[in-house]
Amino acid sequence: MSRLQAREIESVEDARRIVEQRGLSHVKVGMYDIDGVMLGKYMRREKFFASLEKGFQFCDVVLGWDSKDELYDNVHYTGWHTGYPDAPLRIVPESCREVPAEGDMLLFLAEFEGAAEAICPRGVLRRILQRAAGMGFRAHGALEYEFFLFDETPDSIREKGFRNLKPFTPDMMGYSMLRSSVHAELYHELLALAEAMDFPIEGLHTETGPGVLEVAIAVDEALAAADKGALFKTFTKVWAQRRGLMATFMAKWSPDYPGQSGHIHLSLTHAESGESAFFDAAAGHCMSDLQRHFVAGQQQLMPELLAMLAPTVNSYTRLIPGFWAPTDATWGVENRTTALRVIPGSATSQRVEYRLGSADANPYLAMAAAIGSGLYGIEHRLEPDEPITGNAYDQSHPSHQSLPRTLWEAAQRLRGSRAARELFGDDFVEHFAATREWEERQFRRHITDWELDRYFEII
């Protein structure tokens, strides 16, 4: 019997067989929490085989705490009032990945079931894609990420109090062939890791800023694309730390440099024919009626769903004019100053780029918001505003295009959105809005250096 490869796994039986073939005593099983942080454990082979058939249990506190393991005090799904019981999960056989740094080790993703499925990030996206299927569409996506590399370790950044950090390379050298050639071995390692773990990189280059890189991940069906994005973020951090470096995907780590985006390229095809639902050779910019409605839905719901694409307090420091991040719910054709960029092309390349998202967003929730709002536009036959030509930052826009300016405001817009509740369910909206309110409250408990410098002596 031939030796199975991770990418060939499609069923429970395949998953059993590849573990047996490799003689593994344990495998890795991981899932993603509400912030997009990967959690998991090594699971003994016999337990893994049983879990493939019947699922397994995991303490639901992972859906009830923040990115610093602090317990939410304002959510209903779980908490001290429930006693933090176990929640059921199922293993996703087709998510099997190699873990190159660990020999023959394999990694499988899992997702929550039962009551927890309503707020499981992967489950939220999966339900949106089921909605698309019910409308006769298949969604495809690709994620682009910017991230900064530092010549630091988890210990050194804390010893420095996160100040005076040393970027991996100095100066502003976007698209630098010099940098990528001098550090070619490091680039090759990242490219090889991405191939081995099935989140292949289509493009890798330096961006504007010291030590900043941009990666474009290959297109795939939307759920697989979100898996690729989530795994890329996790294992890029692993790769960097194993080499004495650190990678950050926070939206903006310094006021002196542009923020870090998480752009999403999206297209729809007709499920039966496989043909593009966005391409119309006879239409202006080859933009079909369906694509126009899709963009209209994205534009109209952007202010209501912003918390899903800009989920941290830090996200909103990026959304300022002149730093390559959109500040209003605008769209244009091949316009990188707008929030939505329609990219005309062929039947295989016609798409829309959702440029609003930041690198700190949970890939599953960002993708769900970007696709779900587009489907909403098709369902309601919405029409977009006039496209923006020229610099969107220099133009005034209608009030309905204004985006929330803080995480708290974004959480309130999400909580009050009928469309969000229709798309994602009441349980998710209530839970996620509450977690964002918690995040903002945590921030308000702290005194910033700016406040001390501004008020300590003079006021």
Give the burial string for 74-102 (b: 16+ CB within 10 Å, else e).
Answer: ebebbbeeeebeebbbbbbbbbbbbbeee
| Architecture of the domain delimited by 129-425 | 2-Layer Sandwich (3.30)
**Cβ–Cβ < 8 Å for 203, 232:** no
Give residue 66's Cα distance to chain centre. 17
Enter the pTM of the model.
0.97
Under 8 Å between Cβ of 39 and 62: yes
Looking from the CA of 172 toward its CB, the CA atoms found within 13 Å total 4
Question: CB-side exposure of 240: number of CA atoms within 13 Å?
Answer: 23
CATH 3.10.20.70 residue ranges for the chain: 6-115
> What is the residue-level pLDDT of the chain in tens, covering all 459 positions?
688 999 999 999 999 999 999 999 999 999 999 999 999 999 999 999 999 999 999 999 999 999 999 999 999 999 999 999 999 999 999 999 999 999 999 999 999 999 999 999 999 999 999 999 999 999 999 999 999 999 999 999 999 999 999 999 999 999 999 999 999 999 999 999 999 999 999 999 999 999 999 999 999 999 999 999 999 999 999 999 999 999 999 999 998 888 899 999 999 999 999 999 999 999 999 999 999 999 999 999 999 999 999 999 999 999 877 666 788 999 999 999 999 999 999 999 999 999 998 999 999 999 999 999 999 999 999 999 999 999 998 888 999 999 999 999 999 999 999 999 999 999 999 999 999 999 999 999 999 999 999 999 999
Domain with CATH 3.30.590.10 in the chain: 129-425
Q: What is the pLDDT of residue 258?
A: 85
Tens-place pLDDT, residues 54-91? 999 999 999 999 999 999 999 999 999 999 999 999 99
Per-residue pLDDT tens digits for 208-233: 999 999 999 999 999 999 999 999 99
Q: Which pLDDT score is estimated for 402?
A: 93
Compute the distance between CA of residue 34 and CA of residue 147 in angstroms, rounded to an integer. 21
CATH topology for 6-115? Ubiquitin-like (UB roll) (3.10.20)
Compute the C-alpha angle 411/417/419, nearest 5°.
Answer: 135
What are 193's two structure tokens? 């890791």
The predicted structure's pLDDT at residue 1: 63
- Short-list 134, 101, 130, 103, CA closest to 117: 130
Q: What are the CA-CA distances from residue 410 to residues 46, 249, 354, 397, 402 (Å)?
A: 45, 21, 18, 19, 11
